[in-house]
Amino acid sequence: MEVNEKIAVDHGLKLDEYKKICDLLKRVPNLTELGIFSAMWNEHCSYKSSRLHLKKLNTKGKKVIQGPGENAGVIDIGDDDAIVFKIESHNHPSFIEPYQGAATGVGGIMRDVFTMGARPIANLNSIHFGSTQHKKTKNLLRGVVKGIGGYGNCIGVPTIAGQTCFDQSYNGNILVNAMTLGLVNKNKIFYSKAAGINKPVIYVGSKTGRDGIHGASMASAIFDDKIEEKKPTVQVGDPFTEKLLLEACLELMSDKSIIAIQDMGAAGLTSSSIEMASKGNLGIELHLDKVPCREEKMTPYEIMLSESQERMLIVLENGKEDSAKKIFDKWNLDFAVIGKTTNSKNIELYFKKEKVANVPIKFLANEAPMYDRPWKKTKLPQKIKFSNNDFKKLKFNDVIKKIISNPNICSKQWIWEQYDHTVMGDTIQKPGGDAGVVRVHGTKKAVASSVDSSASYCYAHPFTGGKQVVCEAWRNLVSVGAEPIAITNCLNFGNPEKKENMGEFVECIDGINEASKYLNFPVVSGNVSFYNETKDKGIKPTPTIGGVGLIKDYKNLMSMNFKSIGNLVLVIGKTEGILDQSIFAKVILDERKGPPPEINLFNEKNNGETALKLIKEKLALSVHDVSLGGIMIGALKMCIAGSKGIKFNKFKDLINIYQYFFAEDQGRYIIEVDKNNLKKVESILKKSSVHFDLLGEITDKEIIINDELTFTVDKVTEFYKGWLYKYMS
């Protein structure tokens, strides 16, 4: 088939992009070559809209071993141990087929981590759905949760934390972001950079099928006459094969036969082979009839663009083929030498002894388009003036009940009980805490991780929102007693060709960058997901931040559950009473305007470091950061976790009681302190210039406000834990 402009456009290429391809090649590409260009030049692989802005990110730090650009980021946690981690989106497939979409999202991110030689030790996820009233939400939620569980549980990696949000902006585009942490010896990390000429290129794992070829932009010209061969565009996951692949790869990695390794993720064999060659400044020659195929009569085009799961490409040392093959035979996996590295600097493909493609690799990688898309700044919205009249008709108990059982606040136990969170025997903080924590097997160390997003804040003001999410991740790690080290980001946005959406992206990045620099909390890996848009309606800007921190001695793990009756409760950080963009404003007052709460990075850092100091000196007995729902929801969650009550001190602040308890001012923590240590704690807080309020005292069961009993902890627990079970039943 002759390639022409129409076929190029059907492949998702713009006309000027197609023209550039012809100019570079000085000829018209054949169909296989066009397919390869379209895969490498699409947004997902080339980051053409985002690259310019991603360059600005703060990616350096003393503990960073590998920043963005590899399969995953790597940080040093001491004693030759390193943590490999990354977050990735699988949004579009999960909306079309929630189970497989979510499952293969988890499978893909785990492969990114074990490709680097690390054994995965924890999974996390951030999932966003449409309104709970929307007819699709329940099924999508059920399918996604089953998919995440189905894959992670089978592999035997614990899912230790996550986040679930509901908002109507996701009605037509759900978000499924999966994150994995792996443990590796820092001297035994594997990279994707090929080196050396005439080294064998090895294909291992599952066979290649026709699944996942090109998705929606698939050229109709190709499939019209063979419509019966068209398969669903969502890939199908096989966690069992992935488990075998994981064990086989780690076994092969224990000796020195691998030069470079890359998993076949998006754009399958195309991107994996080109990336390895490009990084090593080499050429690569592949014989496609040697690729193990699951289906008959697959063409070079299909083999190159298949996104079949659970496959890896390896550049091996010469002479190691037999010993490597033995390992893959043992694990019953396909193993095939399909080509070699060359000095041509081209990708050369052969099929049945015929050369079917020949393209200089730099055209596909370095010459990929990069756009400086026009973007629009978002103005800071005006502050809302709340008057006492707004609060007059409210009843405190009703407000508590409504907020604690709100879908975005309530317990997600229905979800995380379907995830194996204890396999591997090192989970010391399970889901439901501020961050999940796993021990570094066989050591005193533990790694904490959390995942956060704040789409409403980012929508109201992207720059502030971007800063806020990074701070939230930082706070969650501090709350479990971990020293925050680094982050990974999953940037979920609408259509970059619209200047409003592009503006949201640019300003969120600026916000992320500012907070990341100030807190010395560098970005080491990540992924961008654009075009989360249906019928012209995009999602709220949703950068998701996954944070990772270290607890040097796991016995110093901190938790949020109130420990003892009679202990005092303090709030660290100042409460000005900012209700704009709060859950309270939205759910109780139906007010969605206003700016997000301001971020003061000095206070953020100072308050967090002081909280860590109190934890280290064993003066704080329980800790929880104040986030959605303000002090009231924060304190109630601590009550619920510890099955205790709290008597709040009589309220004498100048601001309204609702403002005090439900404001979402940033940089705050609630801590529990023994009465006898109060003086010591006060002196540390004063010395560090940290504002604090004495909030109340822990009781047996009663939750008392202004000397009146509101609820018992059992009742509040029922509101908190009951909602999602009821919704899903």
Partner 1 sequence: MNSSVIIFPGSNCDRDMDVALKKFGFKNKMVWHDDDKLPKSDLIVLPGGFSYGDYLRCGSIAGKSKIIQSVIDYAKSGGLVLGICNGFQILTETGLLKGVLQQNKNIEFICKNVFVKINNSENKFFENIDRDILELHIAHNEGNYFCSEDELKSLEDNNQIAAYYCSSDGKVDDRSNPNGAIKNIAGIFNEKKNILGMMPHPERMIDQSLSGEDGSIFFENLLKNLK
182 binds partner 1, rule: CB under 8 A: no
275 binds partner 1, rule: CB under 8 A: no
> Nearest distance from residue 714's CB to partner 1, in Å?
16
Residues 482-541 within binding reach of partner 1 (CB under 8 A)? none
99 binds partner 1, rule: CB under 8 A: no
The DSSP call for residue 382 is P
114 binds partner 1, rule: CB under 8 A: no
Nearer to partner 1 (CB atom), residue 554 or residue 584: 554
308 binds partner 1, rule: CB under 8 A: no
Which of 11, 90, 461, 624 is catalytic? The answer is 90
Nearer to partner 1 (CB atom), residue 109 or residue 455: 109
For 669, phi and psi rounded to 5 degrees? -135, 150
Return the HEC string of 7-68. HHHHCCCCHHHHHHHHHHHCCCCCHHHHHHHHHHHCHHHHCCCCHHHHCCCCCCCCCEEECE
> Nearest distance from residue 480's CB to partner 1, in Å?
13
155 binds partner 1, rule: CB under 8 A: yes
The structure tokens 């310019």 sit at 52
Residues 406-425 within binding reach of partner 1 (CB under 8 A)? 416-425
Quote the CA–CA distance of 391 and 589 in Å, as a whole number.
9
> Nearest distance from residue 416's CB to partner 1, in Å?
8
Among 134, 136, 146, 517, binds partner 1 (CB under 8 A): 146
Quote the CA–CA distance of 272 and 262 in Å, as a whole number.
6
The 314-333 contact track toward partner 1, x by CB under 8 A, reads ----------------xxx-
> Nearest distance from residue 240's CB to partner 1, in Å?
3
Closest C-alpha to 72, from 24, 114, 16, 26 = 114
156 binds partner 1, rule: CB under 8 A: yes
> Nearest distance from residue 415's CB to partner 1, in Å?
10
Quote the CA–CA distance of 568 and 565 in Å, as a whole number.
9
Nearer to partner 1 (CB atom), residue 149 or residue 522: 149
Please report the DSSP string for 169-223 in residue order. GGSS--EEEEEEEEEEETTS---S---SSSPEEEEEESPB-STTSSGGG--HHHH
Return the HEC string of 143-177. HHHHHHHHHHHHHCCCEEEEEEEECHHHCCCCEEE
Nearer to partner 1 (CB atom), residue 192 or residue 559: 559
Which of 11, 44, 53, 128 is catalytic? The answer is 44
428 binds partner 1, rule: CB under 8 A: yes
Q: Print burial letters for 312-350: b (CB count within 10 Å at least 16), e (below 16).
A: bbbbbeeebeeebbebbeebebbbbbbbbbbebebbbbb
Classify burial at 414, counting beta carbons within 10 Å of its beta carbon; exposed 0-12, middle 13-18, buried 19 or more: buried
Among 111, 207, 320, 439, binds partner 1 (CB under 8 A): 439
> Nearest distance from residue 727's CB to partner 1, in Å?
14
The answer to whether the CB of 539 falls within 8 A of the CB of 456 is no
427 binds partner 1, rule: CB under 8 A: yes
The 542-561 contact track toward partner 1, x by CB under 8 A, reads ------------xx-x----
Nearer to partner 1 (CB atom), residue 446 or residue 524: 446
90 is catalytic: yes
Partners of 201 in beta bridges: 315, 339
Quote the CA–CA distance of 567 and 551 in Å, as a whole number.
25
List Cα–Cα distances, 601 to 190, 244, 377, 606, 607, in angstroms. Answer: 36, 46, 22, 8, 10
Quote the CA–CA distance of 584 and 660 in Å, as a whole number.
11
Collapse the DSSP code of 716 into the 3-class scheme (helix H, G, I; strand E, B; otherwise coil) and give the result.
helix
Total site size for partner 1, rule CB under 8 A: 34
The first and second tokens of residue 142, run together, are 């059920």
Nearer to partner 1 (CB atom), residue 119 or residue 290: 119
* Range in contact with partner 1 (rule: CB under 8 A) among 80-88, 426-434, 603-611, 702-710: 426-434
149 binds partner 1, rule: CB under 8 A: yes
Quote the CA–CA distance of 598 and 460 in Å, as a whole number.
12
Quote the CA–CA distance of 119 and 113 in Å, as a whole number.
8
Quote the CA–CA distance of 351 and 361 in Å, as a whole number.
19
> Nearest distance from residue 138's CB to partner 1, in Å?
14
Beta strands in 478-567 (DSSP E): 483-492, 523-529, 533-534, 537-538, 542-551
> Nearest distance from residue 562's CB to partner 1, in Å?
19
Residues 233-272 within binding reach of partner 1 (CB under 8 A)? 238-241, 243-244
Nearer to partner 1 (CB atom), residue 150 or residue 629: 150
Nearer to partner 1 (CB atom), residue 53 or residue 721: 721
> Nearest distance from residue 412's CB to partner 1, in Å?
13
Please report the DSSP string for 640-672 in residue order. HHHT-EEEEPPP--SS-HHHHHH---SS-EEEE
> Nearest distance from residue 529's CB to partner 1, in Å?
27
103 binds partner 1, rule: CB under 8 A: no
Nearer to partner 1 (CB atom), residue 118 or residue 359: 118
624 is catalytic: no
Catalytic residues: 44, 90
Query: Which chain residues interact with partner 1 by CB under 8 A?
Result: 146, 149-150, 153-156, 238-241, 243-244, 330-332, 416-428, 430, 439, 554-555, 557
